[in-house]
Each structure stands twice: as C-alpha cells, then as structure tokens.
Amino acid sequence: MTLNELDPNVAAAARPMRVCVVGAGYVGLTAAACLAELGHTVRCVETDPAKLATLSAGGMPIHEPGLSELVANHRGSGRLTFTSDVVEAMEDTAVALLCVATPPRLDGEPDLRQLGHAAIEVVIAANSDVVLVVKSTVPPGSCEALELLVGGYTADGQRVSVVSNPEFLRESEAVWDFFNPDRVVIGAGRADVGELIAQLYPARWPLLVCDRRSAELIKYASNTFLAMKISFANEVAALAEALGAEAGNVLAGVGLDGRIGGAFLTPGPGFGGSCLPKDLSGFIAVADSVNQPAFLARATQRVNDGAREALVNKLEATLGCLSGRQIGVLGLAFKPGTNDVRHSPAVGLAEALVARGATVRAHDPVASVSGTLFEQVVDPYDAASGADALVVATAWPVYRRLAPKRLREVMGGTIVLDAADALDAHTFAAVGFDVYGVGRGLPTLFAPVLWRPLEWMVDTGAVDTLVTQ
C-alpha cells in the first residue's frame, strides 16, 4: 500500500495528541509511524541500542511493506522521533502506548516482565497523571494487575489509568492492517479514559469499547480461533490424503461457506511466528489458572506439534531414509512478506531434517537465522543444487516463479515436497518431478476407503457377498 491509497477522510485522528510509544518492534514501530500519519506527535522509546542506531540513521530494523516510507515521512514532518530516554519521551505527554514483547516462558505461561518494567519506567518518568495503553498481548487481568503494580511507584497525587487496546495487525501487512482495522478494541476501567484513548483513532473506524478483561480476552480468543482454523485445515488435509480426496478442493469448498470463511483454512507446516503459538499457550495457561478446561485449544496445539513431524515422515517415506541425504529448503520466515523467524515452522522443519541425519541447504529472500546447523544461501537454485529433495516451507511468491526445468537440471533427485502450497504442481510434474504436499501426494489404498461405507450401507455380512460377486 502507498500513502496515496489512504482515504484522506479516514486518515485523521479524532483529536491529535502527544503520545509516547514504548518499544519499536513490529507493533510499536508500526503504531508509532501510523499514529504520526494520523496527526499525532509521537516519541518512540527503544532500549535496544542496535535497533535505535538503525532507526536514528534512517534505516529500518524490520521488513514491513510501506513502513520505511511512513517512518521517513514523519521523521521529516517532525511528528516522529526516536530515543532511548523515557524521561525525554514522556515530556508533556500523558499517554504511553506499551508495545513491548510478552514472550512465552519455557512452561508456556506468559512472561510479562518487560511490560511491568516498561510501565514502572513510564510512571516514574511521567511524574504526573498518565494513561498506560497496553497494546501488547496480555492475559485477562493484566491491565488491572499493572495498575496495582505501578501504584507502588506513583508520585504524590499522581493518577495512573491502564487501558487495554490490543493490536490485531498481521506482520507483512502491518501498515495496511493498522489503517484498515476490522475493529479497534478499547477496554477501560473508566469511561472518560476510554473515550480519550478512542480519540487516538479516526472516529469512523469500527470501535468496540468494553471492560478491560473482555478486551484482553478478545485478543487471546481471536488468535486461538485462528490457530484452530489452521490446525483444522491440517487435520482435514491429512484425512483428504488418506481418503484419496483433494485437500485443496475440500478446504476451498468449506471456506466458501460464509459462516466459516476461507481465511486461515490453509494446510501447511503448521502455524508459527511470535503470536499464534504464544497466544495459544497463553490462552491455555489462563484457562488452567481458573480451572477451566481448554479442550479445543489443547487439541489445536497437539495437531500443530504433529504437522512438522508429518512432513519429515513423508519425506523419509518418499526418499527411503533421510540420513546422508541432501535436502534443499526454500523459505525460513514464518510466513511470506516478513523477515521474522520467531517460532518459524520452516526453521523447525530444516532443523528436524538435520536431526534425522540430512544435510540441509536453505534459502529465504529476506530472512536469515543465526547459529543453525544448516547452510544458508542467497540463491534458491543453490539450495536445490545436488539435492535429493526440495522442500518449500514458506510460500514466498518468488518460489512460484522458479523454473522447474532448471531445478530439475541442478537437483540430484526428483522429490519436491511443497509444504507451503507455493508451486504449480503440474508444471513440476511435467518435467519429471514427484510432487508431494500437505494433503496431497502419497498413494492411497482405495479398497479400505470404500469398504467401510459399503459396510455402513448394507446388512452385516452382505459386503462379503457383494465383493465376491
């Protein structure tokens, strides 16, 4: 999206304010630049010296379409500045958006220490009334807990209100999503504070104002549902493959139902990234903390855990064994359009192949991973060179434009496992590749598939008579 595509009628905040944004990551940097575009004056605090140096030098620490233009424009307009000094950022400012990470702990429960720390810093720096707006994804109860926590650090007479304003943007479409929200959710303990924060956004945007716990749960429940759709798609795809049905057709047909919708109904190597796995385990941890069963969420997690292993097993079945084999892996980012490799199923897949004794050479157009046991190359044909099999793990559009004939010439084998459904299988098959995917590829035994329906159609014992006729 370019800025010119923004509708000028919606691209203005209800009330321009001075705001501080804490954290210049995917959410904070996007929010800071987009809020500046809406007319606010934004000071963005970032503690990572490398990130801050990049931003101060006019560079971009993340790959996000449209964001570098917005940042450059508003550094120029003077409405967007970066600093490591929270006191400077809070000068004449009564609103701070907290956009720090809330990663999972090893046990899956959320680690909220960055949030607590950032909130205390802001409250001490403000030294006067302040509204903390939590954009980070947090378990229900966190905003109220944060109010209690910072209460121990307030100056005499200083009033701190904490508002929940969860962020729903998708990496790779962050700027577009910010300006085209399905909804802006604001959870506030006091109506006047909720109204003030609503004025950060254009009045015409769809707004849901509610209590804080509900706002926090909306975010957790939304991501859990999206993860559930992906796991459901993987389960249907596995079933389609076993039955000899076409997974792509089945899921397209299911998604065309307006009550279901086709988004996120895509089989593949499983969901990853910094949000869905973390928010799903957070949802489960929250449910456990109040003794509520989270059956669907747990099943979603189990299906996702099995997705990578199913792919590795499929490759092993097609190659005979993985030990000593050379595999090319295309894609490392957790999805196309981003350089984010946090909890990337593509990286997990490459690592799992190495763990089973294969040598892996991987390519990604923008992402890279440090400290891996596999080689990373800058040309996809290099990744394929001499490979017994090629795995497409991230659906980057550039992979659809690869020349199958050239790949066939450089590879040693003929196996292509298109886990991301990124290729045109027919053109690859036409030059002699054996193309497999999720829900597609392995030979199906048709007799058992028909046997049970036959048994369900006629009286017990009659099937034997039927099939011997």
Ligand X SMILES: NC(=O)c1ccc[n+]([C@@H]2O[C@H](COP(=O)([O-])OP(=O)(O)OC[C@H]3O[C@@H](n4cnc5c(N)ncnc54)[C@H](O)[C@@H]3O)[C@@H](O)[C@H]2O)c1
- What is the Cα–Cα distance from 14 to 40, expressed in whole angstroms? 10
* Per-residue binder mask for ligand X (CB under 6 A), 430-469, x = binder: ----------------------------------------
Asked whether position 198 contacts ligand X by CB under 6 A, the answer is: no
CB distance 54 to 60 below 8 Å = yes
Asked whether position 89 contacts ligand X by CB under 6 A, the answer is: no
- Size of residue set near ligand X by CB under 6 A: 27
Cβ proximity to ligand X: between 167 and 388 the closer is 167
Q: How far apart, in Å, are the Cα atoms of 55 and each of 59, 60, 99, 341?
A: 5, 6, 17, 21
- What is the Cα–Cα distance from 464 to 455, expressed in whole angstroms? 9
Among 18, 75, 117, 298, binds ligand X (CB under 6 A): 117
Cβ proximity to ligand X: between 38 and 169 the closer is 169
Q: How far apart, in Å, are the Cα atoms of 2 and each of 6, 40, 70, 175?
A: 7, 20, 9, 10
- Is 275 among the residues known to form the active site? yes
Q: Residue 20: beta bridge partners?
A: 43, 96
- What is the Cα–Cα distance from 321 to 317, expressed in whole angstroms? 7
- From the list 24-32, 193-201, 357-365, 437-445, the region that binds ligand X by CB under 6 A is 24-32
Asked whether position 109 contacts ligand X by CB under 6 A, the answer is: no
**Angle CA(456)–CA(462)–CA(468) in degrees, nearest 5?**
115
Report which of 21, 296, 32, 276 is spatially closest to residue 137, judged by C-alpha positions: 276
CB distance 318 to 249 below 8 Å = no
Asked whether position 23 contacts ligand X by CB under 6 A, the answer is: yes
CB distance 18 to 93 below 8 Å = yes
- From the list 165-173, 264-272, 359-367, 381-389, the region that binds ligand X by CB under 6 A is 165-173
Asked whether position 47 contacts ligand X by CB under 6 A, the answer is: yes
Cβ proximity to ligand X: between 27 and 311 the closer is 27
CB distance 16 to 40 below 8 Å = yes
Asked whether position 339 contacts ligand X by CB under 6 A, the answer is: no
Asked whether position 149 contacts ligand X by CB under 6 A, the answer is: no
Instruction: Give just the sign of the alpha carbon dihedral 450, 256, 397, 264.
Output: negative
CB distance 143 to 163 below 8 Å = yes
Among 19, 42, 99, 240, binds ligand X (CB under 6 A): 99
Asked whether position 26 contacts ligand X by CB under 6 A, the answer is: yes
- From the list 23-31, 192-200, 325-333, 459-467, the region that binds ligand X by CB under 6 A is 23-31
Cβ proximity to ligand X: between 222 and 313 the closer is 222
Cβ proximity to ligand X: between 98 and 360 the closer is 98
Among 56, 73, 83, 114, binds ligand X (CB under 6 A): 114
Report which of 348, 308, 21 is spatially closest to residue 165, judged by C-alpha positions: 21
- Indicate the residue whose CB is closest to ligand X: 25
Dihedral of CA atoms 177, 179, 181, 185 in degrees, nearest 10, equals 110
Among 169, 330, 422, 435, binds ligand X (CB under 6 A): 169
Looking at 15-108, list the stretches that DSSP marks H as alpha helix, in order from N- to C-terminal side.
26-37, 49-56, 67-77, 86-89
Q: Which of 44, 143, 275, 321 is catalytic?
A: 275
Among 6, 19, 27, 402, binds ligand X (CB under 6 A): 27
Neighbours of 362 (CB within 10 A): 27
Asked whether position 45 contacts ligand X by CB under 6 A, the answer is: yes
Asked whether position 216 contacts ligand X by CB under 6 A, the answer is: no
Among 40, 43, 51, 79, binds ligand X (CB under 6 A): 51
* Nearest distance, CB of residue 282 and ligand X, angstroms: 9
* Nearest distance, CB of residue 128 and ligand X, angstroms: 19
Residue type, 300: T
Containing 427, the helix (H) or strand (E) segment is helix 425-430
Asked whether position 171 contacts ligand X by CB under 6 A, the answer is: yes
* Nearest distance, CB of residue 394 and ligand X, angstroms: 16
- From the list 167-175, 236-244, 322-330, 423-431, the region that binds ligand X by CB under 6 A is 167-175
Q: State the DSSP code for 104.
A: B
Asked whether position 274 contacts ligand X by CB under 6 A, the answer is: yes
Helices 67-77 and 26-37 sit at what angle, rounded to 10 degrees?
Answer: 50
Looking at 57-141, list the stretches that DSSP marks H as alpha helix, in order from N- to C-terminal side.
67-77, 86-89, 113-126
Asked whether position 361 contacts ligand X by CB under 6 A, the answer is: no
| 392: helix, strand or coil | strand
Strands 130-134 and 160-164, how do they pair?
parallel
* Per-residue binder mask for ligand X (CB under 6 A), 121-140, x = binder: x--------------xx---
Asked whether position 341 contacts ligand X by CB under 6 A, the answer is: no
Catalytic residues: 275
Residue numbers of the site for ligand X (CB under 6 A)?
22-28, 45-48, 51, 99-102, 114, 117-118, 121, 136-137, 167, 169, 171, 274-275
